[in-house]
Amino acid sequence: MNYQPMAAAVVAVCGVVALIIQGRRARHVMDDVKRDLEVWVLLPEASEQRPALQNSIEEAVASYVADQRDKTRDLSGMVLAVLLAVAGSFLWWLAASNGGYWWWCAAGAAPFSLLGVGGFFESSARTRRDSKGNRIRAVEGHGAAQ
């Protein structure tokens, strides 16, 4: 079997995934803080905006430190997701290389692949998590002062 088209497809998919991941990256908070500090230094001592900008910088740094401390990734979920994706890939490979009734492997390959890819992105997101690794989601309007 000629594996060259399959290898080209894998490289193309990896390239697209890399572009998507790169595009999802947000600007780093510390870049904004550095820019604000440069502006703060240039402001005259008597400027009315200087204290407001300083408070903004301090709040951004405090928020960044809290995020670094509280937000984590679920490593065990990421490993499980990769294993599911590999199992799905193996089943797809079995079906594609053998043909015939082996295409029934696609019935198992599809859920393994979808759960693996979806689970990887769910587990790799940096968010607040409980002791089991599940995301903690804020409930809107519940417990908040209104």
Divide the 146 residues of the chain into consecutive groups of 10 and give the mean pLDDT of each group.
Answer: 78 82 68 84 84 86 74 80 90 86 86 90 79 72 52
pLDDT for position 142: 57
Beta strand 71-72 with 127-128: parallel, antiparallel or unpaired? Answer: antiparallel
Of 87, 49, 70, the residue nearest 129 (C-alpha) = 70
What are the φ and ψ backbone dihedral angles of 48, each rounded to 5 degrees?
-70, -25
pTM of the full structure? 0.50
Cα–Cα distance, 96 to 31 (Å, whole number):
47
pLDDT for position 83: 92
